[in-house]
Amino acid sequence: MTDVEQKLWFAIRDRRLAGFKFRRQTTIGPFVVDFLCVEKRLIVELDGGQHNEQADANRTAFLEARGYRLVRFWNNEVNESFEGVLSSILEALTN
C-alpha cells in the first residue's frame, strides 16, 4: 500500500468509521479495488498520477454494472483534507 492508502486504512479498518467494515485490496472481476465495504457495496478508490481517465471510466462502468458504488479521491485530497475525505465516505455509506 502507498503511504496515502495506509493513512486511510488506519482510519477505516476495524470498524473505526461509524462501525462499517472495510476490506482492502479486494478483487472484483478483473480488478483489485483499494477499499470495499461489502455491506454497503461501496468502493473507495485513491488515485495518484498514474490514473487514466478512459481506463478508470471502463473500470467504473464494470463495477457499477455489478451493483457497486464508487467514490474516488486524489491522493492529495487525503493529505490536504483528510477529515473531509472521511466525511465524504461516511456520507456515501449512509445515503
Share of the chain above pLDDT 70, in %: 99
Q: Show the domain range for 62.
A: 55-95
Q: What is the pLDDT of residue 28?
A: 97
Does the residue 67 lie in any domain? yes
SS3 18: coil
Q: pLDDT tens digits, residue range 21-64?
A: 999 999 999 999 999 999 999 999 998 877 677 778 899 999 99
Asked if residue 70 lies in contact with residue 64, where contact means CB atoms within 8 angstroms, the answer is: yes
In terms of Cβ atoms closer than 10 Å to its own Cβ (0-12, 13-18, 19+), residue 14 is exposed
Does the residue 24 lie in any domain? no
Does the residue 45 lie in any domain? no
pTM: 0.93
In terms of Cβ atoms closer than 10 Å to its own Cβ (0-12, 13-18, 19+), residue 60 is middle
Domain count, the chain: 1
